[in-house]
Structure 1
Amino acid sequence: MTDDVKARYRRYLEQAWTADGDRLDALVAELVTADFVIHQTRTDGAPSERIRGPAALTRLIRESRLLFREVSSVIEVGPIVEGDLVAAHWRFHGTYVGGMPGATAKPGTKVQFAGIDMLRSSGDRFAEYWVVSEAMRLMAQLGIGKG
């Protein structure tokens, strides 16, 4: 079971976050439960628990991917499995294409930042997702909040 959860996490990070179109929809449907919950700090201050279901995850990935091309994520630590939880430390690399409100960085700016994921499994899918990332580092690279 541990190896299955590790493989599922790798598919989530390395494939779902780089997939497009129908492939993304299919991957997410295979990876998360119908009542999947995303726990993530939101810029609008709304409770993150309102972000639910496979469609919410595909929307989050698509919205993020609109801002970057040449995307890759590398697992730096883990995945570590304990009971029904899996955790990992990752690093994102990408090229900014523009479109982030308040950003002064030019399209073509290379960015990288790290984060930590923890996901809870239910059966053969993930049911909950907690993410903490270096959002301030990303914002600095994009020139958000400068001057």
Structure 2
Amino acid sequence: MRQNLWDSGDMGDGDTVGMDAKDLYRSWIEHLWNGPSDADALRAAAARIVTADFVGHWPGRDVRGSERLAELIAEAKTMFSGLAFQIEVQPLVDADMVSARWNGAGTTVDGSVTRFFGNDILRVRDGRFCEYWVATGEV
């Protein structure tokens, strides 16, 4: 059964199986990157959105598993206050691949606003993301 998880703001007790890939991507942004700062809540959200054997490819760094992904996101959230992301180009889907463009901003400890942009490519398997590539930069 398809769930509209980002409208309710609640991931619920269910999982993402049955969501279409575009909705899964929106959940990726809203419930992970724009999601809670609490490490336990992030781990729970990541476990519902990515597979146990998830691999994320950042320039110069690979992240393996939902727990490591949650740690990376939690770390990013400690570096900025008010960190928020928006989908700039809606997700495009081809077979098991999803791509989208996003932008974001956050305030550093010295009070300066940093703006980011990026392009995501993700592979879907069994209703969850199993692999991720990102190209990102600062404005």
The residue type paired with residue 134 of structure 2 is V
More strand by share: 2
- TM-score, normalized by length of structure 2? 0.80
Matches within 5 A, 1:1-147: 4-18=20-34, 19-21=36-38, 22-42=40-60, 48-49=61-62, 51-97=63-109, 107-134=110-137, 137=138
The residue type paired with residue 120 of structure 1 is R
- Return the offset for 1:72: 1.1
For 1:116 and 1:86, how far apart are their aligned partners in 2?
11
| Percent of pairs with identical residues | 40
Q: Is contact 2:19–2:127 with CA below 8 Å preserved after alignment? A: no
Coordinate RMSD, CA, aligned: 1.8
Q: Secondary structure at the match of 1:66?
A: helix
Q: Is contact 2:52–2:66 with CA below 8 Å preserved after alignment? A: yes
- Return the offset for 1:87: 0.4
Q: Is contact 1:14–1:72 with CA below 8 Å preserved after alignment? A: no
For 1:3 and 1:25, how far apart are their aligned partners in 2?
20
Q: Is contact 1:76–1:90 with CA below 8 Å preserved after alignment? A: yes
Q: Secondary structure at the match of 1:108?
A: coil
Q: Secondary structure at the match of 1:20?
A: coil
* Deviation >4 Å, runs of 4+: none
The residue type paired with residue 31 of structure 2 is Q
Q: Which runs of 5+ in 2 are unaligned?
A: 3-17
For 2:105 and 2:19, how far apart are their aligned partners in 1?
26
Aligned positions, number: 121
For 2:125 and 2:47, how far apart are their aligned partners in 1?
14
The residue type paired with residue 113 of structure 2 is K
The residue type paired with residue 125 of structure 1 is R
- Bigger Rg, which one: 1
1:6-55 Cα deviation digits (max 9, x unpaired): 1111111122113222221111010000100011112xxxxx34x21011
Q: Which runs of 5+ in 1 are unaligned?
A: 43-47, 98-106, 139-147
For 1:90 and 1:72, how far apart are their aligned partners in 2?
10
The residue type paired with residue 15 of structure 1 is H
Q: Secondary structure at the match of 2:20?
A: helix
1:100 corresponds to which residue? none
The residue type paired with residue 87 of structure 2 is I
- TM-score, normalized by length of structure 1? 0.76
